[in-house]
Structure 1
Amino acid sequence: MNYESIKLTIERKIAIVTINRPESLNALNAQVFNDLENVFDYLDSEKSVNCVIVTGSGDKAFVAGADIKEFPSLNQEQAKELSARGHYVFNKIENLSKPVIAAVNGFALGGGLELALACHIRYASENAKLGLPEVTLGLIPGYGGTQRLPKLIGKGRANEMIFSAKMISAEKAKSIGLVNEVFSLEELLPKTQHLAEQIVKNSPQGIAKAIKAVNASDHEKGTESEINYFGELFSEEDFKEGVSAFLEKRKPVFN
């Protein structure tokens, strides 16, 4: 499949989605959103893929933000449509039935950080800078940043980042729980792929339900969802294979 603004590679059950607009530091524009929607629709149903990595082209930026050149021509209703579009695509990533890992290689600002927040796990390079600078433009984060960031690092720290618009280092981001691990730029993708390789050894059916259960933790009936998903898995082939392998003292083989 061909995409204008991203590159897709698939190997050993792992897909790597690379935002490929290095001339604009991989900034998000309408074409990137279209390509992300299409590629994640494809990956959700592609049986050869059990884990997805999202990264940026080059060594300067994961995604440096939205493409601001598109903003001046928008009126209020068009701006609301743009925000809704971002939410729609990033919700699709967050609710994918397969784990999505962000490999944050450089600047992750504005919409770029919001893309990383939509991923299930975040690894970062030592040169990464993360922030939500929208208030410097007289705006707010519009692609989920005000919703996902407080749940991840707490309301106080999220308010500090959003109100001050300051960028933070990868190490600071790790210390507050915004990213899971920090590596050198050279190590980032190999370390992310190593995590993905560990993930794809496990039950796809179990992981898919785990994603749903974790996402449901934000809702009133989160516990009820966990109970239901736990019970549903007892009728699945992965559960039967996993328990049989455990009792037979062998490694499970999940189809």
Structure 2
Amino acid sequence: MTENPLLYEKDGAVARVTLNRTGAINAFTIEMRDLLWEHLGAIRDDPDIRVAIFRGAGDRGFSAGADIAEFGSGPSLYDSRRARRERDVWGLMLTIDKPLIAQLHGFALGAGLELSLCCDFRIAADDAVLGLPEVKLGYIPSAGGTQLLPRAVRSSLAREMILTGEPIGSRRALAAGLVHAVTTTARLDDEASLLAAKLCAQPRSAIGAAKRALAASLETSLESGLAVERALAGALQAQGAGDGR
């Protein structure tokens, strides 16, 4: 029986999305991208969901990136680009106003690392290896890596990782701010769940407003961003601080 390549489960206020192609280190396929689009819509639209956690099944890693076995065997380049425009999975992740957590172990490469860069928090196991190796294949990161990595770490490290294609370990990633915490593989699920519980305890309206304000800081001038912040703060004050749980 063929395994479901992307699992979705709802545990109270927490959604968990599990990449589930263990034989290929959870490498992304077109089918997985389409399933992820559907699950992200559920996370965005379900009022019961407060936080989402993304993880990889198996011992070898979170995700080895895009499945290169599909290169040249899928739709035409034109059709692939049109599908990406119509179903911009990574772009959708960036618009969700609920906290997203990536728990990384083993290989977190290419599209796998790019998915985690769309999350608000990245918790890594001590065996995690993070990288964007696309240049070694004559390609470049194309799921946001060239734009999101320099926003997560200093420019010199982003250039090193993208231009050489060489990965870094979890401890260096922690020192650089690429991940927020490092733990053991055995504790990874627990640490992600503890963070999710802490986030679920915050007023959802404040969390959503804070995420929108943070997004504005990357997309607009300081003056415009401050205006967004004032408007969001005013809306929260009008509804009453602490409301909207």
TM-score, normalisation: structure 1: 0.88
User: Secondary structure of the residue that 1:193 maps to in structure 2?
Assistant: helix
Cα distance between partner residues in 2 of 1:42 and 1:152: 27
The 8 Å contact of residues 203 and 242 in structure 2, kept in 1 or not, is answered as no
Q: Which residue does 1:18 correspond to in 2?
A: 18
List aligned pairs for 1:85-124, cutoff 5 A. Answer: 88-124=88-124
> Are residue 234 (structure 1) and residue 237 (structure 2) matched?
yes
Aligned counterparts, 1:132-143, within 5 A: 132-143=132-143
Gap runs ≥5 in structure 1 = 242-253
CA offsets per residue over residues 80-139 of structure 1, 9 Å max, x none?
4466467x1012112212100000122110111000101111000111100000000100
Q: Quick one: distance in 2 between partners of 1:78 and 1:8?
A: 27
Q: Where does residue 189 of structure 1 map in the other structure?
A: 189
Secondary structure at the residue paired with 2:8? strand
- Correspondence 1:44 to 2:28: no
Structure 2, unaligned runs of 5 or more: none
1:85/1:184 CA distance change after superposition, 3 Å:
farther
Q: CA offset at residue 165 of structure 1?
A: 0.6
Distance 1:240 1:57, change over 3 A: closer
Q: Tell me how large the CA RMSD over aligned residues is.
A: 1.8
What SS does structure 1 have at the residue aligned with 2:238? coil
Q: TM-score, normalised by structure 2?
A: 0.92
CA contact (8 A) 1:16 1:52 kept: yes
Kindly indicate whether the alpha-carbon contact (under 8 Å) linking 1:84 and 1:143 is maintained by their aligned counterparts in 2: no
Comparing 8-17 with 60-69, which one deviates more in the overlay? 8-17
1:14, CA displacement in angstroms? 1.1
- The answer as to whether partners of 1:66 and 1:111 remain within 8 angstroms in 2 is yes
* Residues 159-207 of structure 1, C-alpha deviations (whole Å, 9 max, x = no match): 1100111111011111111100000001011011001101101100110
Contact between 2:213 and 2:225, CA under 8 Å: does it hold in 1? yes
Whether the 8 Å contact between 2:25 and 2:64 is mirrored in structure 1 is yes
Counterpart of 1:28 in structure 2 is 28
User: Hey, what does 1:77 align to over in structure 2?
Assistant: 78
Q: Which residue of the partner structure matches residue 228 of structure 2?
A: 225
1:154 CA drift (Å): 2.0
